[in-house]
């Protein structure tokens, strides 16, 4: 599993940021991840090929490679697309 490649302390740091701020962004294996709390339940995870953002600070949709909803825990959301 690719998650093993990420340092455990780094995962815990991302989980804490997600729990505290309801969102986290990070890069891994040349991809850019955006995870935020869904209005309904769980977390939305989007993966981008570039860190390019628009004037409002949002990733450009044209660079989105994949995305999904994780209804599990914050840790599950961090590991979901990895």
Interval 12-21 mean pLDDT: 93
Question: What local confidence, expressed as pLDDT, does residue 81 receive?
Answer: 76
Contact present, 61 and 49 (Cβ < 8 Å): no
Domain boundaries, the chain: 2-80
Kindly give, in sequence order, each residue whose CB lies less than 8 Å from that of residue 1, ignoring residues fewer than 6 positions away.
none
Interval 36-56 mean pLDDT: 95
Question: What local confidence, expressed as pLDDT, does residue 4 receive?
Answer: 60
């Amino acid at each position: 599993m690719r998650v093993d490649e990420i340092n455990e302390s780094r995962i815990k740091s991302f989980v804490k940021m997600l729990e505290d701020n309801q969102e986290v962004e990070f890069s891994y294996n040349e991809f850019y991840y955006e995870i935020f709390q869904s209005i309904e339940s769980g977390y939305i995870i989007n993966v981008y090929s570039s860190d390019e953002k628009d004037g409002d600070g949002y990733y450009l949709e044209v660079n989105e490679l994949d995305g999904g909803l994780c209804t599990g825990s914050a840790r599950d959301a961090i590991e979901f697309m990895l």
